[in-house]
Chain A
Amino acid sequence: MSTPDDMHKQAFREEASELLSELENSLLELEENPENEDLIGRVFRAMHTIKGSGAMFGFDEISHFTHNVETVFDLVRSGEIPVTKDLIDLTLKARDQITTMMEAEMGGDPPDRELGEKIIAGFVALIPSNESKAQSGPAEKKPEPEKLEPRTYRVRFVPNRDIFKSGTNPVYLLDELKELGDCKVLASLKDIPVLSQFDPEACYTGWDVIITTDKDINDIKDVFIFVEDSCEVSVKVIDDPVLMESPSKYKKIGEILVERGDIKPETLQTVLEEQKPIGEMLVSKGLVTKDRVESALEEQKTVKEIRSKRQTDDSASTVRVPAERLDKLVNLVGELVIVQARLSQTSSVKNEPILSSIAEEIEHLTRELQDSTLSIRMLPIGSTFSRFKRLVRDLSAELGKDIEMTTDGADTELDKTVIDKLNDPMVHLIRNSIDHGIEPPDVRKAVGKPDKGTVHLSAAHSGANVLITIKDDGAGLNPRSIKLKAIERGLISPDADLPEKELFGLIFQAGFSTAEKVTSVSGRGVGMDVVRKCIDSLQGSIDINSKEGEGTIITLKLPLTLAIIEGLLVNIGDESYVLPLSAVEECVELSKKEVDAAHGRHIINIRGEIVPYIRLRDLFRIKGERKALEQIVIARINGERIGFVVDSVIGQHQTVIKNLGVVYRKAKGLSGATILGDGSVALILDIQQIVDMARDKEVTTVA
């Protein structure tokens, strides 16, 4: 259905949106380190790529818009324009404008043209007017860089297999390279397969180019600017140019062998040193002279060094894989875990030593496979953190507050799905800190705090969980006003005597908002209850700590992954259910005697503490008789202990979570299903929702 053109456009959009978010980060970092050339270079390259690829795929408006930004950053790069806050502001605006333009291309709202022109005017004003070249062209050469001594570089360029499909001809890039200086282009053909396995649209060729040029290394890299993300490109200086300039036939042979992968550099080296190999064979056949072999050996050494360096570079390289493929893999591993459980079960019944040892081995391997598969989905939370930098920057400016955001633990890894879903609640919490938490500068000064407020984000691992904290040094929560408001909203009764912590927890209840003034920042009609819902859906919990006048700390506790759950397997009637183990604190028995002692109220006395419980059998209307001796699973939900009555507790069960699908989307109290060792399906309970359901029911039965 989609034409190749569409595919290219789609690819461009994806690439561009990635570039744009990277650009934002670079800009924000640049604001803090205005001298950092690497960052300036990154901004320039991002703009250059967007402009170039934009034009290539017919996004002329975007390309045109980006042109001036690129021009300015080229001048920044050459030190003619300094990095100022205004420049960063303007560039951030430009970045947003490009984003809007991109969205418009995808069918979104059209961009504000006037704003776009204003931004362009801003950039044009920055370009020194007497510089005629600034008007004429952007990326053209910087003002005469001092002439460099000609140096020799080795450029390795291995295009992506699909490079033809993106409309790029790698040979043109080589031609461009040739314009920079004297080039020796050597193709690497080791990846070319036999005809039967040959994909006519794939590029199997890679190149090593030895180039001698007086141009800067960046000029060489710029040739590959459009492809550097998808292709392997490395540029290395070869320090002894003389060696490279005396090409001889077998210098290439040596290389070829290494390139082919038939011979490792080391092997070639050893072979050459030890016995008569290719070199001597060639000599004996009179095809070459000995000194030439020596020279080849010399180069071999150089190549070897370069290779080994390059190998370390390669090991850090990454592969881009569609998320759905990963999901598929995770699912398959999930299947494997289930089958493996069955195998273990069978082997323990059969009690055959050989079978048992195989089963054990499989168990071990499966566990390892599972761990590494899940780790593929793990991403550092840092990218989310840096996204908030912009939020803090813009919001504080809007509210006239001076706020700095600091982070730590940005490299803490979390499942991609968790990270994706975490964005909204985090935005909400940070907005809240900035809007209601941190005081305006004059107020802060009056109470003896530094003018500048701080929002600190941190992430850290804690067992199978990740703790994310949002800490501000603002005014903190006022327990009295929370209580008054909660009473006013009918959330608690006026005579309720709640500990401070529970009072704070009320702000996450539906219908509660501490904002007395509605600002554009927080007055969006959504309360903090959205945050709680979201965290609940992630199987996480929220803890809130605050001291009036000193600040607030909100801690989110989240599971590392959503794909797998440590569960507690229980039975009710004929069915099995799984409760998330993370919330479970203990299991106790519920005898008939105790039920009678409570006179119809659903409470149990555990070591002097009164704990309410919910009969899952009743709530789910499961048919059959209650057992004489039931079990209560005690879980902690939002700091409260609540019991869930089941027939029996079977034990711990690590399992892959399966979606219940469209049909059961509205089913309440369930977060999914899992497949047990015997192949049957067990439902996973959403205990938070069950508590809510039970509460609703109580309300209706009372009324």
Chain B
Amino acid sequence: MAATTSETRQYLTFTLGEELFAVEITKVREVLDYTKITKVPQTPEFMLGVINLRGNVVPVVDMRLKFGLSQNDRTVNTCIVIMEISMENEMTVLGALVDAVQEVFELESGQIEPPPKIGTWLKTEFMLGMGKRDDQFIIILDIDKVFSYTELAAIAAIGS
């Protein structure tokens, strides 16, 4: 779909370990420094809990754990990317804990390769495609899929 029309979009990149990821900037609301997260009992490990975002209670997901990587120690670079996700036909605000936020850059749709069918450690359905920046691959995430209700609310099953 994306390949037929050539339009330029902006992406925010962040890292998890060595990997570089990107999400469309329109999905990102703001980036916060790491703050105390209140754990909600009986929820999966990657659901870190909730934070207070100016009076709103916002859930935070550990992206490393969500993608099956090992948990990292918090550093000064650790931050929470606040995003707007459409979940169950509702706009929901959600935080993603990442190792570091890199930059905002533009990509033409022509520069985006479809996700490879094999050889990725990440579920291909989570990817919109692959981009490249200075010889480094960037995984462009389909954040609505990553944060879909079924992905996150496996909660109850694990809880009980």
Q: Give the B-binding residues of A (Cβ under 8 A).
A: 331, 334-335, 338, 575, 619-622, 658-670, 673, 675, 679-683, 693, 696
With A664-B155, A666-B155, A667-B159 as known contacts, state yes or no: A621 contacts B55, CB within 8 Å.
no
Shortest CB-to-CB span from A639 to chain B, Å, is 27
Chain-A contact segment, one of B22-30, B33-41, B113-121, B134-142: B33-41
Query: Is there contact, CB below 8 Å, between B155 and A662?
Result: no
Query: Is there contact, CB below 8 Å, between A662 and B57?
Result: no
Bound complex: CA A598 to CA B49 (Å): 35
Q: Which of B38, B90, B92, B156 contacts A673 (CB 8 A)?
A: B38
Shortest CB-to-CB span from B138 to chain A, Å, is 27
Query: Is there contact, CB below 8 Å, between B42 and A663?
Result: no
Shortest CB-to-CB span from B105 to chain A, Å, is 30
Interface secondary structure of A, over-half rule? mixed
Bound complex: CA A331 to CA B57 (Å): 12
Q: What sequence of 0s and 1s flags, for each residue 142-160 of chain B, a beta carbon within 8 Å of any chain A beta carbon? A: 0000000100110110011
Q: Which of A622, A668, A679 contacts B160 (CB 8 A)?
A: A668
With A622-B41, A680-B52, A681-B51 as known contacts, state yes or no: A664 contacts B59, CB within 8 Å.
yes
Query: Is there contact, CB below 8 Å, between B38 and A682?
Result: yes
Closest to B39 in A: A575
Shortest CB-to-CB span from B34 to chain A, Å, is 13
Query: Is there contact, CB below 8 Å, between B156 and A668?
Result: yes
Chain B residues in 8 Å Cβ range of A658: 55-57
Query: Is there contact, CB below 8 Å, between A661 and B38?
Result: no
Query: Is there contact, CB below 8 Å, between B42 and A673?
Result: no
Shortest CB-to-CB span from B43 to chain A, Å, is 6
Closest to A331 in B: B55
Shortest CB-to-CB span from B140 to chain A, Å, is 23
> Does B104 touch A at the CB level, under 8 Å?
no
Please give me the 7 A-B residue pairs with the lowest Cβ-Cβ distance, nearest first: A620-B41, A666-B156, A681-B38, A335-B55, A658-B57, A663-B59, A673-B57
With A335-B55, A667-B156, A673-B57 as known contacts, state yes or no: A660 contacts B41, CB within 8 Å.
no
Query: Is there contact, CB below 8 Å, between B38 and A660?
Result: no
Bound complex: CA A683 to CA B159 (Å): 16
Chain B residues in 8 Å Cβ range of A665: 153
With A665-B153, A680-B36 as known contacts, state yes or no: A621 contacts B42, CB within 8 Å.
yes
Task: Pick the most buried of B52, B56, B87: most chain A CB atoms within 10 A of its CB.
Answer: B52
Chain A residues in 8 Å Cβ range of B39: 575
Shortest CB-to-CB span from A458 to chain B, Å, is 37
Shortest CB-to-CB span from B88 to chain A, Å, is 6
Bound complex: CA A261 to CA B87 (Å): 52
> Does B47 touch A at the CB level, under 8 Å?
yes
Bound complex: CA A665 to CA B57 (Å): 13
Query: Is there contact, CB below 8 Å, between A660 and B57?
Result: yes
Query: Is there contact, CB below 8 Å, between B149 and A662?
Result: yes
Query: Is there contact, CB below 8 Å, between B52 and A663?
Result: no
Chain B residues in 8 Å Cβ range of A668: 42, 156, 159-160
Contact residues, B95-136 vs A (CB, 8 A)? none
Query: Is there contact, CB below 8 Å, between B38 and A575?
Result: yes
Query: Is there contact, CB below 8 Å, between A679 and B41?
Result: no
Query: Is there contact, CB below 8 Å, between B153 and A666?
Result: yes
Q: Which of B41, B57, B87 contacts A621 (CB 8 A)?
A: B41
Bound complex: CA A376 to CA B51 (Å): 29
Chain A residues in 8 Å Cβ range of B65: none
Chain B residues in 8 Å Cβ range of A670: 40-41
Q: What are 29 contact pairs spanning A and B, CB under 8 A?
A: A334-B55, A335-B54, A335-B55, A621-B41, A658-B56, A659-B57, A660-B40, A660-B57, A662-B87, A663-B47, A663-B87, A663-B152, A666-B156, A666-B159, A667-B43, A667-B159, A668-B42, A670-B40, A675-B57, A679-B52, A680-B36, A681-B38, A681-B50, A681-B52, A681-B57, A683-B38, A683-B40, A683-B41, A696-B160
Chain B residues in 8 Å Cβ range of A619: 41
> Does B20 touch A at the CB level, under 8 Å?
no
Closest to A664 in B: B40
Shortest CB-to-CB span from A650 to chain B, Å, is 15
Contact residues, B40-72 vs A (CB, 8 A)? 40-43, 47, 49-52, 54-59
> Does B94 touch A at the CB level, under 8 Å?
yes
Bound complex: CA A662 to CA B155 (Å): 12
Bound complex: CA A622 to CA B36 (Å): 16
Chain B residues in 8 Å Cβ range of A682: 38
Chain B residues in 8 Å Cβ range of A679: 52
Bound complex: CA A659 to CA B57 (Å): 7
Shortest CB-to-CB span from B4 to chain A, Å, is 27
Bound complex: CA A453 to CA B79 (Å): 67
Query: Is there contact, CB below 8 Å, between A662 and B88?
Result: yes
Query: Is there contact, CB below 8 Å, between A620 and B57?
Result: no
Bound complex: CA A631 to CA B57 (Å): 28
Task: Pick the most buried of B39, B57, B92: most chain A CB atoms within 10 A of its CB.
Answer: B57
Bound complex: CA A680 to CA B36 (Å): 7
Closest to B41 in A: A620
Chain A residues in 8 Å Cβ range of B58: 661
Bound complex: CA A681 to CA B36 (Å): 9
Bound complex: CA A622 to CA B41 (Å): 7
Query: Is there contact, CB below 8 Å, between A675 and B41?
Result: no
Q: Which of B41, B43, B59 contacts A661 (CB 8 A)?
A: B59
Q: Which of B43, B52, B92 contacts A662 (CB 8 A)?
A: B92
Q: Which of A659, A675, A693 contacts B52 (CB 8 A)?
A: A675
Chain A residues in 8 Å Cβ range of B56: 658
Closest to A679 in B: B52
Query: Is there contact, CB below 8 Å, between B156 and A661?
Result: no
Bound complex: CA A124 to CA B40 (Å): 65
Task: Pick the most buried of A622, A679, A696: most chain B CB atoms within 10 A of its CB.
Answer: A679
Chain B residues in 8 Å Cβ range of A673: 38, 50, 57
Bound complex: CA A681 to CA B87 (Å): 23
Bound complex: CA A90 to CA B40 (Å): 56
Task: Pick the most buried of A619, A621, A622, A667: most chain B CB atoms within 10 A of its CB.
Answer: A667
With A661-B92, A662-B88, A665-B153 as known contacts, state yes or no: A675 contacts B47, CB within 8 Å.
no
Query: Is there contact, CB below 8 Å, between A338 and B55?
Result: yes
Bound complex: CA A575 to CA B40 (Å): 10
Closest to A576 in B: B38
With A660-B40, A662-B88, A680-B38 as known contacts, state yes or no: A667 contacts B155, CB within 8 Å.
yes
Chain A residues in 8 Å Cβ range of B92: 661-663
Chain B residues in 8 Å Cβ range of A663: 47, 59, 87, 92, 94, 149, 152-153, 155
Bound complex: CA A338 to CA B53 (Å): 13
Shortest CB-to-CB span from A685 to chain B, Å, is 10
Query: Is there contact, CB below 8 Å, between A667 and B42?
Result: yes
Bound complex: CA A619 to CA B42 (Å): 9
Q: Which of B42, B55, B59, B90 contacts A675 (CB 8 A)?
A: B55
Chain A residues in 8 Å Cβ range of B149: 662-663
Shortest CB-to-CB span from B90 to chain A, Å, is 6
Bound complex: CA A508 to CA B52 (Å): 38
Q: Which of B42, B88, B153 contacts A669 (CB 8 A)?
A: B42
Bound complex: CA A64 to CA B43 (Å): 58
Bound complex: CA A559 to CA B54 (Å): 27
Shortest CB-to-CB span from A689 to chain B, Å, is 12
Closest to A696 in B: B160
Known: A660-B57, A663-B59, A664-B50. 9 other contacts (CB 8 A): A619-B41, A659-B57, A660-B40, A662-B92, A663-B153, A665-B153, A667-B155, A675-B52, A683-B38
Chain A residues in 8 Å Cβ range of B42: 620-621, 667-669
Chain B residues in 8 Å Cβ range of A669: 41-42
Closest to B92 in A: A662
With A669-B42, A681-B57, A682-B38 as known contacts, state yes or no: A660 contacts B50, CB within 8 Å.
yes
Task: Pick the most buried of B41, B43, B153: most chain A CB atoms within 10 A of its CB.
Answer: B41
Bound complex: CA A405 to CA B144 (Å): 53
Chain A residues in 8 Å Cβ range of B50: 660, 664, 673, 681
